[in-house]
Amino acid sequence: MALDYEECKQKVLDGIEKKSKSKSKFYFSDLAKMMDAKPREAKKIVTQMVEEGILVFWSSGSTSMYGLKGAGKQSAAEHED
Amino acid sequence: MAKHETPLLDQLESGPWPSFVSDMKQEAESRAKNANNINYQIPVDVVEDLLGVLELSYKDGETHWKHGGIVGVFGYGGGVIGRYCDQPENFPGVAHFHTLRVNQPSGKFYTTEYLKQLCDLWELRGSGITNMHGSTGDIIFLGTTTKQLEEIFFELTHNLKQDLGGSGSNLRTPADCIGSARCEYSCYDTQDLCNHLTQEYQDELHRPAFPYKFKFKFDGCPNCCVASIARADMSFIGTWKDDIRIDQESVKAYVAGELKPNAGAHSGRDWGKFDIQKEVIDLCPTKCMRYEDGKLEINNKECTRCMHCINVMPRALRPGKQTGCSILVGAKAPILDGAQMGSLLVPFVEVNKENDYQEIKDVIEAIWDWWMEEGKNRERLGELMKRQGFQKLLEVTGIDPVPQHVQEPRHNPYIFWKEEEVEGGWERDINEFRKHHLR
């Protein structure tokens, strides 16, 4: 059964909020755990959140992470706002 | 006169090899002159500043780059690697200096016109400096600003019909050898398989959801020209099931010196008369060949596809006719630690265009499901295989163990059975047992 997007989105937002004091970027597996979903199902939710501009990709070149748009030092430091 | 003095870099031009410093100076000069009146979209002195910051790094013995970031094109999680200079006031031309990875054409076949178009685009919207090619095979565009990324992506995809490559925790740009387009050794159409899987797995290429990078590479024969066996998480290496084809007349011609061994590749020096015993038979790793009374014989069952004999005598020996590929998994070649070669998972599979390579895709997807679920962050497939065992890999892919999976006879005498593998399981009727076995 397909996961409910709004419900999963809220779980991800809550999960990120909970850790926002120590972290601004999350691995994909962290997000999958927050919504308690299998990777392939979780990917659909995460992709939609990116398309809606809620999450942004962050990449070191070798590893990718996700963060809330505008969160963390990165956006300010890179003058990308 | 150069914008920055670069005495340390200048030394690099003094050696016997072509120097990237000379190339960069040439590009800096060409940009300054702007003979073609290009309306440069990023600072004209970007290359001057690049030389300057590199000189400073050599002087300080530390880098002045910060890499990584949120930059990219919309919807893509890879293909762009953010890079920023930590001395933007001294080197404003390279304050933002992002890298783009562009998917190379399969087999790296280009027309000159296409290369010119790539260069024109990069002159206009980037630094003009490229790396042809990166170690994964991509066309690397070095250095542009954030504003240019979407513009470049639009032109690439609409006018040059090319896509960005993979980076980050994605499927990386699949790479292949020139295959049957130009090489008679090729046992399958590497370019078609490479292109097909690139199209099929667009989501995996552009939207990162893997624990770490994942690489496909396609080699048409065991010569492994793209070195898939040493660096791809999944390598597809052409092979054959039947016997090596022998043309005895050509063998004799090699022995008589009428044909040059290795197609004349080593003819720059006099190596003496060709000696088939010393140069071919004795070098066979499994000793499965002999040459007697003017006849070459091969015990094909023992052949491990090292390709040496075929490479030395290509007119006399050819791969068999029942061709396909072997699939090896788990190779990696990291800079810091733990390079690992691929392990053979599928000894032979037909490379079947007719059913869109379904057998191959079944193996790929079973492996991804396992690795996405069980792999730790930044753990390559080869590391997961070590951690959970090859047996687990066989289980998840549904492949039965065969002798080709065994590297050497076991030296551990203990065999661990699982309950489902033992008739009757672990439970037993103790009363029934005691009828025959007294306490």
pLDDT at A1: 57
Which residues of A are less than 8 Å from B372 in CB distance? 39-40
pLDDT at B408: 84
Which residues of B are less than 8 Å from A47 in CB distance? 207
Q: Is the pLDDT of residue A79 over 70?
A: no
B300: tokens are: 């094909």
Distances (CA, A) of B55 to A2, B21, B50, B91: 55, 11, 9, 12
Contact A58 B81 (CB under 8 A): no
Instruction: Report the candidate in B277, B201, B190, B275 with the shortest Cα–Cα distance to residue B225.
Output: B190
Average pLDDT of every residue of chain B = 95
The model's pLDDT over B278-307, given as tens digits with 9 standing for 90+, comes to 999 999 999 999 999 999 999 999 999 999
Domain B7-158 matches domain B245-318 at the CATH topology level: yes
Domain ranges of chain B: 7-158, 175-241+322-405, 245-318
From B82, B210, B213, residue closest to A78, measured CB to CB: B82
Among chain B residues, the shortest Cα distance to A60 is held by: B68
User: Once rounded to an integer, what is the mean pLDDT over residues B107-115?
Assistant: 94
The model's pLDDT over B342-387, given as tens digits with 9 standing for 90+, comes to 999 999 999 989 999 999 999 999 999 999 999 999 999 999 999 9
Among chain A residues, the shortest Cα distance to B95 is held by: A78
Instruction: Mention the CATH class of domain B7-158.
Output: alpha beta
Walk me through the domains of chain A, giving residue ranges and CATH numbers: 1-10+25-71 (1.10.10.10)
From A28, A46, A51, residue closest to B169, measured CB to CB: A28
Question: In which band, very low, low, confident or very high, does the pLDDT at B324 lie, cut at 50, 70 and 90?
Answer: very high
Superfamily of domain B175-241+322-405: Sulfite Reductase Hemoprotein, domain 1 (3.30.413.10)
pLDDT at A70: 83
pLDDT at A78: 57
Q: DSSP alpha helices (H): ranges in B313-439? A: 358-374, 381-388, 390-397, 430-436
Q: Is the pLDDT of residue B252 over 60?
A: yes
User: Once rounded to an integer, what is the mean pLDDT over residues B112-119?
Assistant: 96
Q: φ, ψ for residue B89 (rounded to 5)?
A: -75, -35
Question: In which band, very low, low, confident or very high, does the pLDDT at A81 lie, cut at 50, 70 and 90?
Answer: very low
Which residues of A are less than 8 Å from B212 in CB distance? 62-63
CA B394 remoteness from chain centre: 23
Share of chain B above pLDDT 90, in %: 88
Looking at chain A from residue 17 to 56, which residues have their Cβ under 8 Å from any Cβ of chain B? Answer: 27-29, 38-40, 42-43, 46-47, 50-51, 56
User: Once rounded to an integer, what is the mean pLDDT over residues B135-164?
Assistant: 96
The CATH fold of domain B245-318: Alpha-Beta Plaits (3.30.70)
pLDDT at B159: 95
Contact B212 A62 (CB under 8 A): yes
Residue of higher predicted confidence among B271 and B39? B39
**How many angstroms separate the CA of residue B63 from the nearest CA in chain A?**
16
Q: Is the pLDDT of residue A76 over 60?
A: no
pLDDT at B68: 87
Beta strand pairing call for B323-329 and B343-349: antiparallel
Which residues of A are less than 8 Å from B208 in CB distance? 28, 57, 59, 64
From B77, B212, B369, residue closest to A59, measured CB to CB: B77
Answer whether B5 touches A (CB < 8 Å).
no
Beta strand pairing call for B99-102 and B139-142: antiparallel
Give the gyration radius of chain B's Cα atoms: 27
Answer whether B363 touches A (CB < 8 Å).
no
User: Once rounded to an integer, what is the mean pLDDT over residues B49-69?
Assistant: 95
pLDDT at B228: 97
Q: φ, ψ for residue B99 (rounded to 5)?
A: -100, 140
CA distance A60 to B150: 19
Question: In which band, very low, low, confident or very high, does the pLDDT at B69 lie, cut at 50, 70 and 90?
Answer: confident
Instruction: Report whether A47 contacts A14 (CB < 8 A).
Output: no
Q: Is the pLDDT of residue A72 over 90?
A: no
Contact B82 A59 (CB under 8 A): yes
Answer whether A9 touches B (CB < 8 Å).
no
CA distance B86 to A70: 21
Q: B29-38, B64-73, B153-162 — which is least confidently predicted?
A: B64-73
Which residues of A are less than 8 Å from B215 in CB distance? none
Among chain B residues, the shortest Cα distance to A67 is held by: B70
Q: Which amino acid is residue B166, in one-letter code? A: G
Answer whether B170 touches A (CB < 8 Å).
yes
B192: tokens are: 């078609």
**How many angstroms separate the CA of residue A28 from the nearest CA in chain B?**
6
Answer whether A75 touches B (CB < 8 Å).
yes
CA distance B146 to B80: 10
First to last CA, chain A: 38
Which residues of B are less than 8 Å from A40 in CB distance? 369, 372
Coarse DSSP helix, strand, coil percentages of chain B, rounded to the nearest 5 percent:
40, 15, 45
**A–B CB contacts, 8 A cutoff, strictly below:** 87
User: What number is the ipTM of this complex?
Assistant: 0.90
Instruction: Report whether B373 contacts B392 (CB < 8 A).
Output: no
Instruction: Report whether B179 contacts B148 (CB < 8 A).
Output: no
The model's pLDDT over A15-67, given as tens digits with 9 standing for 90+, comes to 999 998 889 999 999 999 999 999 999 999 999 999 999 999 999 989 999 99
Give the gyration radius of chain A's Cα atoms: 12
Answer whether A59 touches B (CB < 8 Å).
yes
**How many angstroms separate the CA of residue A21 from the nearest CA in chain B?**
20
CA distance B274 to B426: 65
Distances (CA, A) of B226 to B176, B306, B329, B339: 6, 16, 15, 16
From B67, B70, B210, residue closest to A74, measured CB to CB: B70
The model's pLDDT over B197-217, given as tens digits with 9 standing for 90+, comes to 999 999 999 999 999 999 999
Strand partners, B216: B234
